[in-house]
Chains A and B, each alone.
Chain A
Amino acid sequence: MGKTATFERGIHPRYHKDLTAGKSIAKAKLPQRIVVPVSQHIGAPAKPEVGIGDEVKRGQVIGSATGFVCSPVHSSISGKVTAIADFPTAAGKMVQSIVIESDGKDEAVDFKENPDYMNLGADDIKAIIKDAGIVGMGGAAFPTNVKLSPPKEKTIDTVIINGAECEPYLTADHRLMVERPKEVVEGLKIIMKSLGVNEGHIGIEENKPDAIEAMKSAVAGESNIEVRPLEIKYPQGAEKMLIKAIKGREVPIKGLPMDVGVVVQNVGTALAVYEAVRYGKPLIERVVTITGTGIKEPANMMVRIGTLMSDVVEQCGGLVEGAVKVISGGPMMGFAQWTLDVPVVKGTSGILVLAEDEYVSSDDYSACIRCGSCIDVCPMGLNPSMLSILSEKGFFEEAKEYNLFDCFECGSCAYVCPAKRPMVQFIRLAKSQVKP
C-alpha cells in the first residue's frame, strides 16, 4: 500500500478501540420508557404533534419540522405519551422532550417500502430523508436534507462517506462498515443521486483493516466509488481534514465543504438514508459504542432513540467501582455527563465511561510555557497557546484577532499541552464573550 491520505499536523492519541472493535452490534432491549427531545439537531426545534395520554406507534411522527433547517422526531417504541416537559440532555441543556411509556408490543406504523428506489428523483429523495428525521450521525447532527440542498451557485462534484472514526474508543461506524457494508454503499449511491454527483469516496482510517476490506468488496463493480485508507491520526474525521486528505482541497476560512464542491456524510447517516429511502424507516435507532474501563461489559449496541443512558449502561453490566466520568461521544470532543438519566439521541455515537486511572484532572494546570506543541498539532493552523493566554487574561477581542472562531474545538492542543491547560475551555470562554 502506498502513502495513505491525510492532512497536516494533528495528534496520535491512544485509541483503545480494541475494547469493542471485535464485538458485533447487539440489539438493545426494548426500553420501558423513552425520552425524545424535540431538538436533537442543529436548527429550530420540532413542534410536538402528540398530547399527554395519546397512543403512539413505532415510527410515528411525534414532533414535526417547523422550518427548512429542522428535523422531525419519531417515536421509537409503541406506547402512551406520559409527559411533555423539559428534560436534561447530553449536551447539557434542558430541552422540551416527549416521554413515552412502552406498552411492550412494539407495534410499528406502516413503512412505505420502495424496491425501485434508485429511480427516485432528487427532490423525492430529499423529501424522504427530511421526513425520516435524518441528521448527521457523526455528532454534529446537522439536518441531512439541508446538506443535500446546496445553493444553486455551488456545484457539488464529490460525496465522501466519513468512516474515519478518529475519536478514540468509538467503534460504531467501524462495526457498521464490517457488518452492513452493502447498505452503506447503497446509502452513498442514493446521496450521490440526490446531488447529481458521479464521484464517491469512502474514507477509513487504517486501524480498521476489516472495515476497509468489507467496504472494498462492497464497492466492487462500482467504478465511480473508491475506498480510501487514511492515516491513523486525530482529527482525521473532521470534515475539513477529511476533504483535504481525500481530495487535496482546503475548505476556505469561514467556508463550508460545499465551497469546494464536496458533501461529507457519516457512515451511520448513509445507512439511515438507505433504510429510509428503501424501506421507509425513519431514524429511530442508531449504533452506540458503550465502552471505557469504567463499564463492565463494553459493547456496540443498536439503541432506540430516546433510550436513557442508564438503561443502556445497565445492559452492559453497569459501571465499575471507581467510574468517575461518563461521556456522551468520544473522549476528545464528547460531553461529560452529570447524570445517566439523559436519552440517547440521533447524534450519540458513544457512551464512554472512564475509570479513575484514565481520568486526568485539569484542576492544577500551570502557566503556558510557550513550548509550541499546540501550534505544531493544531489542524487549523491556529496559535492555541496565544488564544488560551489571551482568554485567561480576559483579552477576548484580541483573541478574535488570533482567529478564535476558526477553532472547531477538536482538543488536540489540550491533549498535548504539558502544562495541562484547559485549552478548549479557555477558547469556549472567549467565544462566549465576543461576537464572531
Chain B
Amino acid sequence: MATEAKAHELIVSVSPHVRGKETVGRIMWTVNLSLLPAFIMSVYYFGPLAAYVTGLCILSAVLTEHIYQVSLNKKTTIGDGSAFLTGLLLGLNLPASVPFYIPIVGSFIAIVITKLLFGGLGYNIFNPALIGRAFLLISFPRLMTIWLKPTAQFVSLDAKTTATPLGILKEGGLDQLMQVFGDKADLYMSLLVGNRAGSLGETSVIALLIGAALLLYRGYITWHIPFSFLATVGVMAWALGGDSGFFTGDPLIHLLSGGLILGAFFMATDYVTCPSIRKGQIVFGIGCGLITMLIRLKGGFPEGVMFAILLMNCFAPLIDRGVKSKMFGAIKEQKK
C-alpha cells in the first residue's frame, strides 16, 4: 500500500470536527462586563467604599478558589471567570458599610462550601453568591442591614444611614415612602437611577438594564426567567400589594426596588442553578416571583429575592424532569 502520507501524524477523534466559538470563559467574562455599569453606579453613589467592598469580594473569591484547587492538586479554574463573577455578584449584593471580614467570609462560603465542595462549576445546586449572602445575612443580621445614604460623594463609615425603600414600605407603608421621596415621579426616578439606599449593585435599575440588554443581545440569557419573574412580581404587587383592597397596588414600586432587577437578570439566570429547558425556566421564574412577593408582603424580611431564587434553585432539577421539551415526531395524528 502507498505510504505517501506517513510523514503526517493524524489526529483521530469523534465528530464533529469543528466547533463554535463560544466558551465558558467567554460567557462568564461577558457577564462580568455586563455588570460594569452597575458597579460604576455603585461607586458613584457610595464612593470608594463600594469599590473597596466589591474588590475585596472578588479578590477573596478568586484567591479562595485558586488556593483550594492548587492545594488539592487540581487544575485551577480561576481563568474561566466564574469565581470572579461570584465575587462580583456577592460584592454588589452587600451594603457599603460592611467591615472587611464580611466579604472574606462570604466569598469562602460561596466558593468553597457552595461550589467547590459540590464538585465545582456545573455541579453546585445553589447560586454561590446568594448562599454567601444568605449566610452573612443570617449570621450578621445587624451589619448586613446598615444602609448608607447614597450621596454621590465620598462616604465614610460614620456617614448617615437610612432605610431601603422596601424597608420603609414594610415599616411605615406607602405614605411614609412618599414622605421620604416626594411624589411618585421622584420615587420612580430615584429607583431608576439608583439614588436610594440598598445593596451596592442593586440600586441603579438603568445601569442593570444596560448590562441585561448586552446579555440578551448576545443570547447568553433569554427572556424566559427575567420576564416571568418580573411579570409575576408585577401582577402580585398590583393584586395584593395595595393598602385599599385587591388590585390597588403599585407594581412599579415593587418592580424597581430591592434586588429584583439584579436578581431576575443576573442571578436567577445562573445556568447551573436554573432549569435548562426554556419552558421550565418560565415555571422557575413564576416560582421566584411568587416567593419574592410572599416574603415582601407577608414575611419578616423587607426583601425576598434572594430567598426566592435559592428556594427555586432546589426545584430546578425537578422542573427540568417535569417539562421535557417536545420531541421531533412526537405527534399522534397529522395531516397527510
Contacts and interface: CB of A to CB of B under 8 A. Distances in A.
A325 B22 contact: no
Given A311-B2, A313-B5, A385-B276, A371 B27 contact: yes
A204 to B, nearest CB: 22
Nearest to B331: A250
Interface stretch (B37-45, B186-194, B206-214, B319-327): B319-327
A337 B12 contact: yes
Interface stretch (A213-221, A264-272, A373-381): A373-381
Interface in A357-378: 358-360, 362, 366-373, 375-376
Interface string B260-283: 000000000001101011100000
B325 A308 contact: no
Nearest to A324: B11
A367 B122 contact: yes
Indicate the member of B16, B22, B331 with the most A CB atoms within 10 Å.
B16
A376 B2 CA distance: 45
B333 to A, nearest CB: 10
Contact of A360 (B18, B80, B271): B18
A371 B10 contact: no
Contact of B10 (A168, A311, A339): A339
Interface of B: 1-5, 8-20, 22-24, 26-27, 77, 80, 119-123, 271-272, 274, 276-278, 320, 324-331, 334, 336
A240 B329 contact: yes
Given A324-B11, A417-B22, 8 more contacts: A249-B336, A250-B334, A252-B330, A253-B327, A310-B4, A336-B14, A366-B24, A370-B272
Indicate the member of B27, B77, B276, B320 with the most A CB atoms within 10 Å.
B276
A359 B10 CA distance: 11
6 contacts: A251-B328, A260-B334, A333-B15, A369-B272, A380-B329, A414-B19
A13 interface: yes
Interface residues of A, number: 76
B16 A260 contact: no
A327 interface: yes
A313 B119 CA distance: 47
Given A319-B5, A367-B119, A375-B325, A420 B19 contact: yes
Interface in A227-265: 240, 244, 249-253, 255, 260-261
Contacts of A340: 2, 4-5
Interface stretch (A72-80, A144-152, A421-429): A421-429
B325 A381 contact: yes
A122 interface: no
Given A252-B329, A341-B2, A336 B11 contact: yes
Contacts of B326: 381
Contact of A337 (B10, B18, B20, B22): B10
A418 B27 contact: yes
A333 B122 CA distance: 28
A210 interface: no
Nearest to A157: B336
A226 B266 CA distance: 49
A367 B120 contact: yes
Contacts of A411: 15-16
A417 B19 CA distance: 8
A14 B20 CA distance: 9
A367 B20 contact: no
Nearest to B120: A367
Ranked nearest first, the 7 interchain pairs of A and B with the lowest CB-CB distance are A367-B122, A411-B16, A372-B276, A340-B5, A425-B14, A360-B19, A381-B327
Contacts of A310: 2, 4-5
Contact of A253 (B27, B120, B329): B329
Contacts of A8: 328
A40 to B, nearest CB: 18
Nearest to A247: B336
Given A13-B20, A415-B20, A416-B20, A335 B122 contact: no
A420 B13 CA distance: 13
A323 interface: yes
B18 A358 contact: yes
Contact of A314 (B4, B80, B272, B334): B4
A255 B327 CA distance: 13
B14 A418 contact: no
Contacts of B5: 310, 313, 319, 326, 339-341
A63 interface: no
A123 interface: no
Nearest to B221: A371
B330 A253 contact: yes
Contacts of B16: 331-333, 411, 414-415, 424
A368 B329 contact: no
B328 A379 contact: yes
A240 B15 contact: no
A199 interface: no
A255 B328 CA distance: 11
Given A311-B2, A381-B327, A385-B276, A332 B271 contact: no
Nearest to A385: B276
A406 interface: yes
Contacts of B320: 383, 386
Contacts of B22: 373, 416-418
B48 to A, nearest CB: 34
A57 to B, nearest CB: 24
A295 to B, nearest CB: 12
Contact of B328 (A240, A339, A354): A240
Given A308-B2, A310-B5, A335 B324 contact: no
B321 to A, nearest CB: 9
Nearest to A403: B327
A111 interface: no
A314 B229 CA distance: 61
B112 to A, nearest CB: 17
A371 to B, nearest CB: 4
Given A324-B11, A334-B17, A367-B121, A252 B331 contact: yes
Nearest to B330: A253
B14 A422 contact: yes
A380 B327 contact: yes
A47 to B, nearest CB: 24
Contacts of B18: 13-14, 168, 331-332, 354, 358, 360, 415
Nearest to B22: A418
Nearest to B6: A339
A381 B326 CA distance: 6
A249 B24 contact: no
A326 B334 contact: no
Contacts of B271: 369-372
